[in-house]
Every structure is written in structure tokens, then in C-alpha cells.
């Protein structure tokens, strides 16, 4: 029989549920389990609640975990101060080209990811009270990444594909560092990694809502001043919009973390709606592609767009899959999700064959190597997700297996991004 140290996070969801059941009559032990697994305890508890709902302790915990606040939790003054300071710093960094004369295109291409991830890394480190030794690694990596990317050749005057690819993959590397902080440095903690993916989905939804609201406010504000013949567009975009955009990632994270009920019910609905829509669109696209005979093998630009579409579909699948794991009762949604995964596998296979053809026909380049590697990684991820979804539908396997294979690939994407960012430019001599 497995034994667990209740002072350490429990890495497996099934083990966590088992320990909750065992500790339900021992409140002190149950509290310790909760404190060491805060991000994953609620889902595990809710899944076993039906078995223990007649006990008073379970009923109290159910109210504690699932009580819905009637009002939004706006936090405290320390949180406001943190958001205010980080917004000022990030906004100032975003304005550096205006203050120093640095080429804007080069600066933003290399540094846009630093407007988002460093502040989030610091925020989660602070909120989770992580030990210094766990914080040092991502902070040092972030600092070195800032120096490294800015000392690379200018991508616009040097015309370097390898440096451009490094800039594109740097956000993925920083995202993996954020994940490392989110899981408390415990990469083997699968429930925490799944919680991180779900946070990303909620973050995207909240950010989209804030940006939509901000866009409407901008249009109304400029329109009002236009009526009285006052042109405020230049000063508004250079200051209000720049600092406003700098604050969005932090505000979105803060709201999602403090008020999970805000988007907790929206994300599953979005996933449930868009899964069949994307499936239908992808199926029609595949049929039209076959009918028209569009040249994946000869049209380079079409192949690039095609690969970007596949990356977007992969993101939708992962988002929908993590939302679907909240309940395996909706079989129709799982069938659509499996179908979407299978269609994406077929399209990814076509892309891989086209990339392989171009490698053989035209030789090795940095772009072809990176696209081939990225597609192989996505192809592998899609296969294991589809396989687990098939087992859930056909054999009645626990849907948590889908979560586990999704979580397995998070550090893999981070490692691949690190190779492209820090190794590829040297291999190809910054060309």
C-alpha cells in the first residue's frame, strides 16, 4: 500500500482522491492535504464528494470549497500596489523606444514576451510563498534570456531567420518557466500541471473580455473628443493604450486567481460550443483541400499558413480537453473532441509529408528544421491525446488519463523552445 507524506504535494489525482477519502474523519490531516495541494484539491474533492456527502466534515468542506461569492473579490491594498508598480515598470519598458530612439520593430519583436511573463513569474512566486531556491532558477533564466535575445543580431538589418525563430519561440520558453513556478517547482505533480493549463484557458478568456471592453472604451472616448474637434488619438495611444495593455496580463491573472467563478463556468461552455464548430470547419477544409488539389508541396506560403492553423487547432484541442476533464458525462462532446483530434492528425500528417518533401527537394534550412520538429512534437501529442480519448469512450477509462498525457508534454514544449531559442542561432551561424 502506498504511503504519503501529507506535508508534500501529491502528484497523482487518483492518489489525492484516495487520501481525501482516508482522511475525511481526521480533520487535521485533511487540512494538511488541502494546504499542500490547493490548486488541485477542489477538483479531487468534488469527484469523491458523492461517496462522503453524508458526513458532516464533507458537507462543511463542500461549502468551504464550492461556496460562490455573490460579489467579486477585489483583493487588498498590497495586491493593488503590486499591480500598480508592475504596470508602471512594464509600461515604462514598453515606452523605451519612444524615450531612447531604439528601433521599435526590432525592440518589440525581441522583447514583447517580457511584458507578460516576468511579472507573472514574480506574482505567482509571491502568492505561493515559494522558497528562494525554487525561484532562483526561473528568475536567472529570465534575466539571461533578456540579455541573450537583445545581444543577438538585428533581425531586420541582418535578415536572420534563426534569430527570428528564436524570438518566436522565446515566449514558449518563458511560458514553461511560468509553469514551473505555478506548480511550485514540482514538474512531476500532474494535477498542478493540469491546473496550470486550466489557468491558461481562463486567462485567455478573461484577457479577451478585458481587451474587448478596452477597445469599446477607446472607440467611445476618441469618438466623444472627435465630436468637439479635439484630436487625442496620438497621445491616447502612446500613453493610455500602452500602459493599459501593459496592465492587462496582470489584471487578468489577478481576477482569475481571486475570482475563479468569473470564468469558471464560461470556459467549459466555450469549449463545448467551439469543439463541434472547429471540427466541422476542419472537416470541410480537408474535403475542399482534397477537391481543389491546393499545392502543399509546392506553395511555401500556403504551407506556412497551414502550419499556423494546425498550431491554433492544437491549442483549441488542449483547451477543450482540459475543460472536458471536469466531467466525462457529455459523451457527444468527447466524440467531437476525438474526431477533431483525428482530423488534426490527418492534416498534420499531410504537413509532415510536405515538409519532408521540401527538405529532400530543396535541402536543409533553419525554417524547415524548426517546422519539421514542431510538427513532429504536435503530431506526437495529438496521437497520445486521441488514443486516451478513444480509451475513455470505448473502454470507459478514467478521463484523467487524458489530463495526464496533456500535462506530460508541457516541459517537452519548453525544452523544444529552449533549443530553438538558444541553440539554433549558433548552429546556423545567426543566418
Residues 125 and 249 placed together within one structural domain of the fold: yes
Residues 114 and 238 placed together within one structural domain of the fold: yes
Residue 150 pLDDT greater than 70, yes or no: yes
Asked which of 197, 232, 261 is the last residue of a domain, the reply is 261
Residues 226 and 273 placed together within one structural domain of the fold: no
Q: Which residues of 48-83 are buried (b: 16+ CB within 10 A; e: fewer)?
A: bbeebeeeeebeebbeeeeeeeeeeeeeeeebeebb
Residues 374 and 230 placed together within one structural domain of the fold: no
235 within 8 A of 79, measured Cβ to Cβ: no
Greatest CA separation for the chain: 77
Of 214-218, 308-312, 413-417, the one with minimum mean pLDDT is: 308-312
Domain that holds residue 159: 77-261
Signed CA dihedral, 84, 134, 196, 173: sign only: positive
Q: pLDDT value at position 11?
A: 64
Asked which of 208, 234, 261 is the last residue of a domain, the reply is 261
Residues 104 and 244 placed together within one structural domain of the fold: yes
Q: Which three cell numbers stand for residue 173?
A: 520558453
Confirm whether 426 is domain-assigned.
no
Residues 220 and 293 placed together within one structural domain of the fold: no
Q: Between the CA atoms of 323, 327, 276 and 374, what dihedral angle is there, to the nearest 10 degrees?
A: 40
Residue 141 pLDDT greater than 90, yes or no: yes
Residues 60 and 173 placed together within one structural domain of the fold: no
| Of the candidates 47, 162, 35, the residue with the CA atom closest to the CA atom of residue 398 | 47
| Rounded (5°) CA angle 399-278-340 | 45
Confirm whether 71 is domain-assigned.
no
417 within 8 A of 176, measured Cβ to Cβ: yes
Judged on CB neighbours under 10 Å (0-12, 13-18, 19+), 331 is exposed
Q: pLDDT value at position 248?
A: 93
**Eight-class DSSP state of 3:** -
Q: pLDDT value at position 70?
A: 55
Q: 331-365 pLDDT, tens per residue?
A: 787 888 888 889 888 888 888 888 888 888 888 88
Signed CA dihedral, 49, 55, 60, 61: sign only: negative
Average pLDDT over residues 157-173: 88
Highest mean pLDDT among 42-46, 291-295, 324-328: 42-46
Rg (CA), the chain: 24
Residues 309 and 244 placed together within one structural domain of the fold: no
Confirm whether 408 is domain-assigned.
no
Half-sphere exposure of 370 (CA within 13 A, CB side): 25
Structural domains counted in the chain: 3
Residues 89 and 130 placed together within one structural domain of the fold: yes
Confirm whether 423 is domain-assigned.
no
Residues 109 and 250 placed together within one structural domain of the fold: yes
Q: pLDDT value at position 394?
A: 85
Confirm whether 414 is domain-assigned.
no
**C-beta neighbour count of 161 within 10 angstroms:** 17
Average pLDDT over residues 394-419: 84
Q: Which three cell numbers stand for residue 351?
A: 504537413
Q: pLDDT value at position 227?
A: 92
Residues 112 and 196 placed together within one structural domain of the fold: yes
DSSP character string of 81-136: HHHHHHHHHHHHHHTHHHHH---HHHHHHHHGGGGTHHHHHHHHHHHTT--HHHHH
Average pLDDT over residues 137-147: 93
Confirm whether 424 is domain-assigned.
no
Residue 211 pLDDT greater than 90, yes or no: yes
Q: pLDDT value at position 129?
A: 83
| Of the candidates 161, 173, 138, the residue with the CA atom closest to the CA atom of residue 416 | 173
Query: How many angstroms separate the CA atoms of 162 and 155, rounded?
Result: 9
Residues 214 and 298 placed together within one structural domain of the fold: no
Query: How many angstroms separate the CA atoms of 50 and 62, rounded?
Result: 11
Asked which of 36, 66, 96 is the last residue of a domain, the reply is 66
Confirm whether 416 is domain-assigned.
no
Residue 84 pLDDT greater than 80, yes or no: yes
Confirm whether 47 is domain-assigned.
yes
Q: Would you put residue 306 in left (φ > 0), alpha (ψ -120 to 50) or beta?
A: alpha
Amino acid at each position: 500500500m502506498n504511503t504519503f507524506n501529507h506535508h508534500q504535494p501529491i502528484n497523482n489525482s487518483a492518489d489525492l482522491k484516495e487520501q481525501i477519502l482516508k482522511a475525511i474523519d481526521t480533520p487535521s490531516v485533511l487540512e494538511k492535504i488541502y494546504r499542500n495541494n490547493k490548486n488541485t484539491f477542489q477538483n479531487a474533492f468534488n469527484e469523491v464528494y458523492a461517496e462522503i456527502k453524508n458526513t458532516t466534515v464533507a458537507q462543511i468542506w463542500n461549502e468551504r470549497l464550492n461556496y460562490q461569492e455573490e460579489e467579486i473579490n477585489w483583493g487588498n491594498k498590497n495586491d493593488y500596489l503590486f499591480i500598480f508598480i508592475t504596470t508602471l515598470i512594464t509600461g515604462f519598458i514598453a515606452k523605451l523606444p519612444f524615450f531612447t530612439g531604439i528601433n521599435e520593430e526590432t525592440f518589440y519583436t525581441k522583447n514583447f514576451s517580457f511584458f507578460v511573463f516576468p511579472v507573472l513569474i514574480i506574482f505567482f512566486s509571491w502568492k505561493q510563498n515559494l522558497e528562494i531556491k525554487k525561484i532562483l532558477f526561473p528568475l536567472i533564466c529570465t534575466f539571461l534570456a533578456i540579455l541573450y535575445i537583445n545581444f543577438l543580431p538585428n533581425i531586420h538589418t541582418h535578415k536572420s531567420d534563426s534569430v527570428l525563430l528564436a524570438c518566436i519561440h522565446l515566449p514558449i520558453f518563458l511560458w514553461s518557466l511560468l509553469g514551473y513556478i505555478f506548480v511550485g517547482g514540482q514538474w512531476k505533480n500532474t494535477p498542478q500541471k493540469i491546473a496550470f493549463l486550466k489557468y491558461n484557458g481562463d486567462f485567455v478568456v478573461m484577457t479577451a473580455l478585458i481587451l474587448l471592453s478596452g477597445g469599446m472604451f477607446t472607440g467611445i472616448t476618441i469618438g466623444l473628443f472627435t465630436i468637439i474637434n479635439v484630436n487625442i488619438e496620438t497621445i491616447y495611444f502612446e500613453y493610455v493604450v500602452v500602459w493599459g495593455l501593459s496592465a492587462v496580463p496582470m489584471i487578468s491573472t489577478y481576477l482569475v486567481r481571486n475570482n475563479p467563478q468569473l470564468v469558471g463556468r464560461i470556459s467549459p461552455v466555450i469549449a463545448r460550443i467551439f469543439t463541434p464548430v472547429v471540427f466541422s470547419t476542419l472537416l470541410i477544409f480537408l474535403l475542399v483541400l482534397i477537391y481543389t488539389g491546393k499545392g502543399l508541396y509546392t506553395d511555401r506560403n500556403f504551407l506556412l499558413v497551414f502550419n499556423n492553423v494546425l498550431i491554433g487547432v492544437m491549442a483549441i484541442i488542449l483547451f477543450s480537453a482540459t475543460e472536458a476533464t471536469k466531467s466525462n458525462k457529455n459523451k457527444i462532446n468527447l466524440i467531437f473532441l476525438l474526431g477533431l483530434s483525428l482530423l488534426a492528425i490527418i492534416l498534420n500528417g499531410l504537413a509532415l509529408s510536405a515538409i519532408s518533401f521540401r527538405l529532400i527537394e530543396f535541402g536543409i534550412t533553419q525554417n524547415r528544421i524548426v517546422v519539421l520538429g514542431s510538427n513532429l512534437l504536435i503530431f506526437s501529442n495529438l496521437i497520445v491525446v486521441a488514443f486516451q480519448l478513444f480509451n475513455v469512450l470505448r473502454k470507459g477509462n478514467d478521463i484523467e488519463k487524458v489530463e495526464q498525457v496533456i500535462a506530460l508534454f508541457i516541459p517537452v514544449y519548453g525544452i523544444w523552445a529552449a533549443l530553438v531559442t538558444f541553440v539554433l542561432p549558433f548552429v546556423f551561424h545567426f543566418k
